[in-house]
Structures are given as C-alpha cells and as structure tokens.
Chain A
Amino acid sequence: MTHPHPTPPRPSLLRAAAAAASAAAATALAALTLVAATLTLAPPARADVAAALDSHILPGFARFATAAEALATTAAADCRPAALTPAYQAAFDAWMAVGDLRLGPSETGALSVAFWPDPRGATPKTLATLIAAEDPAGRDPAAYADVSIAARGLFALDMLLFDPDFATYAPGSYPCALAATIAADLATQARALSDGWSGPFAATLRSAGEAGNATYLTKAEAQRALYTQILTSLAFTADKRLGLPLGTFDAPRPTRAEARRSARPLPNVVQAAEAAHALATALAGAPLPTADAALARLRDSAARIPDPALQDITDPQARLRVELLQQDLRTLSAAIETDVGSTLGIAPGFNAQDGD
C-alpha cells in the first residue's frame, strides 16, 4: 500500500496554464495543498486510540460481561422479576458505558443486546409468540441465539420483568424459564463482545496504518472511527432517547421512552452522555474543559427531572425540563467537536452524509 501524500500541482483544466507557465504559482499551490492535506489527514499524535481502548472501552466490556454473568447466575437461582431486578439494573448500567459503540464486534452484535427503538412492537409480539407456543428455545440458552433479536437482550428483559402483561409469572412457569434463558443468552453475548473487542478488534484498531490492516489505513482513520462513535451516540441520545418520547408539543409520546418499564429513560441518557464524555477524554488524552462544563450542566439538568421514566412529559413544565436536557446533549456534542474534532481535523463522511 502507498501512504497519503500531498498532491502535486495538478494538470487541471482550470490551472493548466498557470501550472505550466509559473513555477512560483505551482509551488504556492503545492504548499497550500500540503497544509490542507495535513489538516485533513494527519492529526497530532496526542489522539490516543490505545488509551481509549485501555481506559474506557475494554474495561467497559469486561464490566458488562461480569454484570451479565451475575444476572444469569441470579436468574438461574430465582427467575422472578423481584429477584432479578437489581442484577438487571446493574447489567444495564454496565452496558451503557459501551452500548452505543457500533464498531467491530458491536457493529452487528450490539443490536441483539439492545434492540431499540422498536416502533412496531416486535419485542412484545415475539415474546408473546414464544410464550404462547412454549417454544423449546425459551428453555435452551444455546438455541436461543437463533431466536429473533427482538426477543433477546436487555429490552426483552425490560418487557418480561416489568410489563404488567408479562411480569406476573410464577416460579416454574415457562416465562420464568424464558427470563433465565434470556439472561444466560445475554451473558454469552456479553462475553463474546468482550472477547471480540479485547482480541481481534482491539488489534485492528491498534495496528491502524500498518501493512495488512485493510480496515484502518492510517492511525488517523482509527481515531476518526472512535470519534465518530462519540458524536453518533450523543445525536442518538438527543434524537431518539429523548426525541422519540418528546414527539411534538401537541403529541408527546411518553410510551416511546427507552426501557421505560424499568425506569431507565433518564439514567440511560445520563449514562450515555457520561460514556461519550469519558471516551472523548480518553481519546483526546487531555482535559476537555468545554466538554467538562457541558457535562456538569447536563448532570444538573438531569437532577431536576423527577420522573426517571419520563412519563410526565405530557405536562408542559416537565416537558421543558427534558427539552433543556436535550439541549445540553447538543451542547456537549458541540463541545466535544470543539475540543477534540477540531484537533483531529475530522469532517463528516463524504459519501455517508450526502447520498445519491
């Protein structure tokens, strides 16, 4: 493979005469192009993919795997909702630190852990179908890996453990076994994600720019990949985690809040923002004063919201508090763009942003 190179003065239609006639003009153009190439393609060495992996991403997946294993162990002993709730909440907390990543093993693996949003209600439908049929897969964690992703992972548990239509099951019943199976399948998924990240994919990120790495052709590309994840997560939190329940002023949709049955909408927003900030800080390898201030304000805004499930947003005053939190997310994103993105010289995807 070749390496990025500054572009020599091009024999262009528009500049051909100048390039042929004037060495001085050509030199000036080359210098200008070199500056532009440097800004676009060569961020300073301080952007630290290894630190992002070692201080945030890999410990995060390891903690999630441990928490999911604890949930599975708990469920194997007692699969009733009250018994499972603390371990479920702990596993979801752990997930939020790394759950918005969509790279490497998480590119497809995250969806079967966290199937949301679910506008067509696939999760309750699929669970109801499994329960009505007493599908044997619901008692078999290995077979459960082939069940629809809508019935797997944390959101299947949010439904099964906390929705009144599902959560009244008795010990020894099919739904109780199903809850334990979902927990066991989740633990398997969490271990696979942790192994996939800490093994092959971390190696791919760390070897960016080396021969044989066809995913990241330069170190800058690996930095860009992680940086993009941060902004995408914050946009998802503002647009979906808050935007879906907010709906419009005339038609708020509180039932669309994320994992509302287990009272997680607000914690998920705050934890996602904390995770984005932590990843940005690790990647930058330096304090991010603007982003730090934005995160502090976001925490304050969240602390003023009384209902963690955001079910009160039909009230205009409650809605306003959530809209302020949404604004804080956008401010945090802008702060990270200022503190990190400008340093990295990263622009949005050329093709991804504007298709045809």
Chain B
Amino acid sequence: MTTRRRFLAALAATGAATGAMPGLGWAAAGNPAYLAAAQDPGGSFVLVGLDPDGAETFRLALPARGHAGAGHPSRAEAVAFARRPGHYALVLDCATGALRHRLSPPDGRQFNGHGTFTRDGTRLFTSEQDSATSAGIIGIWDVAAGYRRMAEVASGGIGPHDLRLMPDGETLVIANGGIATDPTDRSKLNLATMRPNLSYLTLSGDLTEQVELDPTLWQNSIRHLAIRADGLVAFAMQWEGEADAAPPLLGLHRRGAPPLLAAAPLVDELAMQGYAGSVAFCGTGAEVAITSPRGGRLHRFDASGTFLGATSRADVCGLAPHGAGYLASDGLGGLIALGPEGPGALAHHALAFDNHIVML
C-alpha cells in the first residue's frame, strides 16, 4: 500500500536517471499483476500497475493516450504503446518510474498499439503498418542492445492490431484487421474491400498458417487475441459492415483446424453493437469472454463457442483472467471481478481505464 511513497523516495534517489540502472524484478514495482493505460481526472494519460485486488502499485505518465502494453517476462519493465497511429512506445522501469527507452517506429512506419516479448525477454515484437499502404509489419527489437531495431517482417495482411506469442514460444499469432487507414489519422479507406485474417508466423517471420473467414464476414475486422495454454486462440472482431447485421464477434481457432464462430442470441448480439473491444479466457480456461464498450456488455462463451450469458457494465472494455474468472475495466474507473458467483466490484479508481488490461 505504501508503494507510492517508496516510489517517490526512489525517484528522489535516482533523480532523472534514465536507463542507467540494471533492471529490477517485478517485486520492486509492488508485484503488479496487470498493466492498464488510463486517463486521470485532470485529463493526463498514465500507465498504471494493478495488483490482484485491483489496487494501484505504480503510476507513470504517458505523453499521449495509451492503448495496450507489454510486460517484460522477468524485469520490472513495461512497454507502453500509444494508440493508433502510434508514434511512440515507451520502455518504462516500473520499479523506479524511469523512462529507460523511447522507441520510435522507423520512417514510414507507425505503431498499431500492441506488442509482445519473447519468453526469454530478449526480443520485442511490435505491431506496425506501412504508413502509406497500411501493409502490416512486425517490428523486431533487440532488448539487450537497448531495444535496437534489428529487423522487420511482413505481418501477412493489412492493418495488424493485436499480436501474441503462442504457447510454443516459437510462433507469433497476428490479428491482421484488414483495414487500411489514412496515413495521418484513423480514417478507414477500404471498408468495401477489406479482408482480415489471422496469421501465424515463426519468430523469423515465415508465414506458416493463415486463416480467413467466409467472404460474407470480411467486413468483420479481426483485432484482438487471447491465447489459452493449450494453444487455443480466441479472436475478437469489430463489424464494419451494415448496421444491425449482428454478426458473431468472437472466433476460436486451433492450428490446423477451421475457425469456429461463437454467436450470441440475436437480441444479445444486437446489444453489442457490432463491436468487441477485448477478449480473454477466464482463469481456468474453460470460458472465454468479449467486451463491448458501445453496448456496455460482456458476453461469455464456453470453449466450444456456446453462449453462456451477459453482464452489463457501462463503457466496459479491458478484460483479463482473474482468479478462476475475469477482471474487467471500464471508462468509469471500475474494476469488476467476474467469477462463478457473478460480478463483484473489486476496486474503483478515479481513472478512465483505456481499452485493455495486460496481465503480467
């Protein structure tokens, strides 16, 4: 609980040092279980660490609205990504508050809001696109060399968004959303012809498997991912087609098999407003859920895609495993624990939580 005071002391001791200290473990950052980007009541953007009870373990300023983050597997080091079109990613020492590195995409590239480390923490992969064409790119960064850009590979599609490391530690799975955007803003340019896919790449960038949905669902942008320990991939979608079409917003994929779409009953699907903002498996892996901030709803499904039920919560978006169930965050500062006994308020912060909670 006194993390903040220790934090201030640490700051006073280290002054404005950046990147000079050896990396401390996560215990030094108060053992956060989650990272979340947020906006504070003064309108400033921050990255916060949260412990399993929803209490804040650290808070770091961001220069612009954040989106998602990635935690280093061992060091108390987090990469905070700007929201699209992203021009920064900050490597933050979560123990001291120091800015260790500031990553900028190479000329003609922009960050797309998500990234992931290799299991040994030596490489960071970032979701990017060619600014001019929206062609998807995965940036590869050498962590030990101070996050030096070492290579880039094609993501296998247009406008990649989320990407994750598969449980084999040797494969990346990428949500290529299919949407081409204006180089200078977020305007969508190709909604009539968009063609999203789910792509599996080796860590050196070889495309090993690619999954597309039926052409009637090509306007369903595949954007966010959750991976179960056995390799089952859940993907959440955002519908760009005709209003009130109520398409399924969740898919499940196991490598080598066709994708399985998980639909809710029509009235529930309509209430989601064609939009899933985050996806997560529950703590046991027996269920998977998606959130819709537009509908103010969370939908749960079993691992075979059968709808289990809905939970209502205004502006809910961030979602992660928590205990046997889930942790959901929202723009009103709520952290809702959803377990087998139903939803319960875990904590309430004077923050507007941004789209995602990242589990460390």
Contact = CB atoms under 8 A, between A and B. Distances in A.
Contact of A5 (B15, B60, B270, B350): B350
A239 to B, nearest CB: 11
Nearest to B318: A351
A203 interface: no
Contact of B60 (A8, A13, A36, A350): A13
B61 A221 contact: no
A214 B311 CA distance: 10
B271 A102 contact: yes
B283 interface: no
B132 interface: no
| Interface majority SS (helix, strand, loop, mixed), chain B | mixed
Interface stretch (A83-91, A107-115, A165-173): A107-115
Given A10-B61, A13-B60, A350-B331, A213 B8 contact: no
Contacts of B348: 1-4, 217-218
A226 B161 CA distance: 34
Nearest to B338: A214
A7 B11 contact: no
Given A10-B59, A217-B332, A16 B293 contact: no
A11 B39 contact: no
Query: How many residues of A sit at the interface, in one of the four size bands?
Result: 35 or more
B315 A7 contact: no
Interface in A1-31: 1-8, 10-17, 19-20
A17 B17 CA distance: 11
Interface string B95-117: 00111000000000000010000
B238 A33 contact: no
Interface stretch (B41-49, B190-198, B202-210, B248-256): B41-49
Contacts of A16: 11, 16, 97
B314 A221 contact: yes
B352 A350 contact: yes
A117 interface: yes
Contacts of B344: 1, 212, 214
Q: Which of A12, A37, A41 has the most CB of B within 10 A?
A: A12
Nearest to A42: B350
B296 A356 contact: no
A119 B244 CA distance: 9
B312 interface: yes
B332 A221 contact: yes
Interface in B331-351: 331-334, 336, 342-351
Contact of A15 (B61, B343, B353): B61
B8 A20 contact: yes
A14 B64 CA distance: 12
B141 to A, nearest CB: 20
A40 interface: yes
Contact of A117 (B244, B275, B317): B244
Contacts of A40: 41, 350
A149 interface: yes
Query: How many residues of B sit at the interface, in one of the four size bands?
Result: 35 or more
B267 interface: yes
Contact of A355 (B55, B98, B294, B342): B294
Given A17-B16, A149-B266, A350-B331, A11 B97 contact: yes
B83 interface: yes
A36 B39 CA distance: 12
Interface in B275-318: 275, 277, 293-294, 296-297, 310, 312-317
Contacts of A107: 271, 297, 312
A283 to B, nearest CB: 16
Nearest to B12: A20
A225 B8 contact: no
B152 interface: no
B242 interface: yes
Contacts of B267: 108-109, 111-112, 149
A12 B46 contact: yes
B268 interface: yes
A121 interface: no
A302 B317 CA distance: 40
A21 B44 CA distance: 21
B41 A41 contact: yes
Nearest to B7: A11
B331 A352 contact: yes
Contact of B11 (A20, A33, A36, A215): A20
Given A107-B271, A355-B277, A7 B41 contact: yes
Nearest to B99: A13
B77 interface: no
A351 B296 CA distance: 10
A12 B7 CA distance: 10
- List of 9 A-B pairs having minimum Cβ-Cβ separation, nearest first: A350-B331, A12-B61, A351-B293, A214-B343, A36-B41, A108-B267, A350-B352, A349-B315, A351-B317
14 contacts: A2-B54, A2-B347, A7-B41, A11-B59, A17-B15, A20-B12, A102-B271, A104-B312, A112-B267, A117-B244, A119-B243, A214-B336, A351-B277, A351-B293
